[in-house]
Structure 1
Amino acid sequence: MRDLNHLLCESLPGYRRVLRLPKQLFAVCPFDGDCLPSRVRLFDPGSGRPSLPFPHRWNYQDPVWILEAYFWKADEEMGPGRHNRYLDVPGFAPVLVTRDPGMIRAIATATGDREGQFDRDTLPSVGIARATGTDTLLYANGAEWKKQRKIAACPFGKTTLFQPEQFNEFAETFRTTVRSRIEVLREHLASSGHESVEIRLESEVKVVMLEMLTNNFFGAEISYAELRDRYVPALERVIDHIVSDTVKNRMGIPWRRFPSLSKRILQAKEDDAAFEELTHLVLAPRAQKRALWKQFKSDAPDEKLISNLKVFLAGALEATTSYATWAISHLARHADAQERVYDEVKEIDVYTPEALAGASYLRDVLDETLRLTPSLYFLPRRATTDTWVTTSDERKILIPWGTHILLDVWHANRHEDHWGVEATGFPATEFEPGRWRNLAAKGRATKDILHFGFGHGPRVCPGKHLGELEVGLTVGAFVKTFRFTADHAENPARAGVSTKPADGTLVRMSLR
């Protein structure tokens, strides 16, 4: 009988859910081990909690607050429940949320294609899949993910990106763009008679990032004006649609099938057409083996690459824009840090890999940016079977099959227990690049002070090295060229696919 139950559990998800139901009805904890999470109530009237602990039509635009709901008043608790919480609603799979860096690292490391490992949870990505397709490195799991990861390894690798020819193309395109923007700013200041100008930089940074992606990385030839006026606005609206579609489209019907009866649907279809057009523009250089395509080792037909290219264009644009705008936003509020970066980059005329590597304080600024304001504010995982997880300090937890796991990087990186004065010399919620030198002086190994800014483990972001290259160039050149400040000390976030400064990176800037 026991063997029959085991067979049914392994082969019939519905049978598992039925067996789980009595424990759910009596609020029995579905986890085991010495690191048990605390239960979160689905509804908790009178608690002052900022949100329900699940996304719905009225809160999906504030996803950081949904994570916050899991840890509402958690600091009053001691023990493993302080940083590990779960929701278990009868009839549904449990949801485990952790802001424990040790647990995040252990689960991320145990994610992969082998039997018993965690999958990337596809539930938060259904909107992306409907917009781009399901056969992508982002959405796939198991053997399909491993195959696509192998194909992407060479063109995204650090060795490829930092080859002199490839790197110099990035640097030259960026210099050309910066020169043109400086001239525009000079003309504006001359005509206005002012010494400084107030501007929201997010849209400008997006154009620069998309230009480097399309023209340098993929070898396309798209003008700055086309990127600014056509493709960036279309991609912004596509990404906004992806976020809302993930929550609102419960029927799972692709919006492309809807008749064009409203301006909103008509605009969405026009944006999708622009996205498709941009994808084919970056695919076209493959035939001539230009730019990254020289390193692309696959005989897959072009049509098989479309979905991954769409994910990459939208995802890389979001992530690098988030990373760069947060760094600029923090530096705008920390004049001393801005001047220290300037002292490092003011003599750099050619941004070689060696020059960037020598700018150690800029590196600390970028690491602190990813710690305090990570682009990827949570990492979704799903248990493929009943799985024991052991952290590096030997704590253990049994996570049952089907559990949705949210690795809450945002709150892990901001908690005093993990990144505060005792651990790093500075408060966890403050932007302090000096904490990285403190940690180095204490002999803390890099593996022990992870900010998870690009994820971690086998499913680390494949564009990590590209993102660091682009953002290093952008922030370094921006600080060298401009002096900039922010009017408000507060620096709140808005979150969607990634996080960004809520004010659109509003700064007052002048030429140095």
Structure 2
Amino acid sequence: MNTPFNYPPEIKGRRKIYSLLKGLNHPLEVISGNHQSVGDNYYIKASFTNKNFIFSQDKEFIEYILKQNHKNYYKSEIQSITLGKYLGKGLLTNNGKDWLKQRRLIQPGFNKTKIVNLVSIMKEEIDKAFQSFKPGKEIDLYHFFHKLAFNIVAKTLFSSDVDENTVNELSKIITEVQEVSTKEVRLPFYSKILNIFGIIDKNIKKSKRSKAIIQGILDKRRNSGESKNDLLDMLIQTRYEDTQLPMSDQQLVDEMLILFIAGHETTANALSFIFFEISQNPKAEEKLKKEIEDEAEMVFTSENLMKKSFTINIIKEAMRLHSPAWAIDREALEDDSFQEYSWPKGTMIILYISGLHRNPKYWERPDSFIPERFDDENAKNFAYYPFGAGPRLCIGEHFAMMEMALIVRKFYKDFTFISYQKKLDKKALVTLRPISLKGKINNNLT
């Protein structure tokens, strides 16, 4: 039967069966293999759901979906419904007018000027965490960075209104909720099994407990009458343009829960990748330490952290090679076309960011760690989207970049990391994460 649509080259036969089965646990290997086989765009029809999927690692196609015709695309049910039942209707899970309304409301709180005010809180948490280092002792930096990033988000959101026990409880709950929701996202049919055994209901109860904790912190702040220079104050004080009313408590809690998850997960993963790459590239580490030394007393100032530097180049290059946001999904609201291709409404578009970032069409020596490539005056036009693109560009980009630059500089000013691993095993779930990053920390003086 002829179709009125002109899809990209199709993955079918044995390759399709292999893709659908192995893709569940090894998506990077399968998607990369398919692109190598048929090109930068390909099509596959899921046999079980009869759903159409288009995968792309083509810069122009990706920009068309995320920028030029973004209004025709929503985040898929994977995020809006599967994750939404745990996280509520915050920026990460929302779509359409509701999303735009929230984005416009919250965006000002994450501009560069506002983020600068949070640097002192970040410094305090980083210094406290680094005090635990024992030179020569084995450490798993992946777990260390997860705890540090979570604590930074907690303190920048809530200042001193949250104690360590509360932070630990929230961290435990959110980790457990993510483990179950990840299985639902990656294996949709598996949710029926989870439902039968009551695991989804238990997960929803845990999510409600995390929201109750956040509501308690919100009530405490309101009752205190205090004003603090943190993200919670910003969220409480914002007003909708049309009504001049504040966010409801439910909306506030949903947004704070999502900031917790998005604000620590991808940053912790990215830091692990950054430190791994530095550990494998002694010349880059030497150049980084020289920059830290040359900056002297200006090295940790907010202006210095956010300007173009070798530190920033290292972060960008590590995120190119190992982008935590390894893929972006969208669903077509109406029939659409781009260049010679066309597809019907309901088609799932998977924008393969990991493939784009290593596509030899756009990158010279794509698998090599070369931070200096971002010195190029055309770097702004690179095929590079670790934080997404278009109207849904990650709202926390400036926050994350400043936090990572501060951690990298504070660490390498005093320490060096010797990795036990020469190869980094990675797992592609909702985000791309390492399995571990084990090694030892030495003091620069030893």
Indicate the TM-score class for this superposition, using the shorter chain for normalisation.
0.7 to 0.9
Q: 1:272 to 1:383 in 2, by over 3 A?
A: closer
Higher Rg: 1
1:344 corresponds, among 291, 310, 315, to 291
**Matched residue SS, 2:118:** helix
**Matched residue SS, 1:430:** coil
Q: Distance in 1 between matches of 2:414 and 2:212?
A: 34
Match of 1:233 in 2: 172
Q: 1:89 to 1:269 in 2, by over 3 A?
A: closer
Question: What is the Cα deviation at residue 474 of structure 1?
Answer: 1.4
- 1:115-154 deviation line (CA, Å, top 9, x unaligned): xx22222335543122222x22222221111111112112
The amino acid across from 1:94 in the alignment is N
Give the TM-score normalised by the residue count of structure 1: 0.76
Matched, 1:401 2:372: no
Q: 1:350 to 1:68 in 2, by over 3 A?
A: closer
Question: What is the Cα deviation at residue 373 of structure 1?
Answer: 0.8
**Structure 2 counterparts to residues 30-429 of structure 1, below 5 A:** 30-31=5-6, 37-41=8-12, 43-44=13-14, 52-54=18-20, 60-71=24-35, 73-74=37-38, 82-88=39-45, 92-110=50-68, 112-113=70-71, 117-123=72-78, 126-133=81-88, 135-162=89-116, 165-178=117-130, 180-182=131-133, 185=134, 196-224=136-164, 227=167, 229-248=168-187, 250=189, 268=203, 271-272=206-207, 275-280=210-215, 283-284=218-219, 287=222, 288-290=226-228, 291-296=230-235, 297-298=238-239, 299-346=246-293, 347-348=296-297, 351-358=300-307, 360-389=309-338, 395=339, 397-420=341-364, 427-429=365-367
Question: What is the Cα deviation at residue 266 of structure 1?
Answer: 9.8
Q: Is the 8 A contact 2:157 2:231 kept in 1?
A: yes
Q: Is the 8 A contact 2:79 2:93 kept in 1?
A: no
- 1:393-415 deviation line (CA, Å, top 9, x unaligned): xx454333221100101011112
Question: What is the Cα deviation at residue 418 of structure 1?
Answer: 1.6
Q: Distance in 1 between matches of 2:308 and 2:440?
A: 25
Q: Is the 8 A contact 1:111 1:458 kept in 2?
A: no
Q: Distance in 2 between matches of 1:236 and 1:494?
A: 16
Q: 1:281 to 1:321 in 2, by over 3 A?
A: farther
Q: Distance in 2 between matches of 1:428 and 1:156?
A: 32
Give the TM-score normalised by the residue count of structure 2: 0.86
Q: Distance in 2 between matches of 1:396 and 1:286?
A: 56
Q: Is the 8 A contact 1:322 1:500 kept in 2?
A: yes
Q: 1:293 to 1:312 in 2, by over 3 A?
A: closer
Amino-acid identity (%): 18
Question: What is the Cα deviation at residue 349 of structure 1?
Answer: 6.6
Question: What is the Cα deviation at residue 452 of structure 1?
Answer: 0.5
1:436 corresponds, among 363, 371, 374, to 374
Q: 1:487 to 1:176 in 2, by over 3 A?
A: closer
Runs of 5+ consecutive residues of structure 1 not aligned to the other structure:
1-21, 75-81, 190-195, 390-394, 421-426
Question: What is the Cα deviation at residue 331 of structure 1?
Answer: 0.8
Question: What is the Cα deviation at residue 207 of structure 1?
Answer: 1.5
Q: Distance in 2 between matches of 1:500 and 1:270?
A: 26
Match of 1:14 in 2: none
Q: Is the 8 A contact 2:10 2:44 kept in 1?
A: yes
Q: Is the 8 A contact 1:220 1:281 kept in 2?
A: no
What's the Cα RMSD here? 3.0
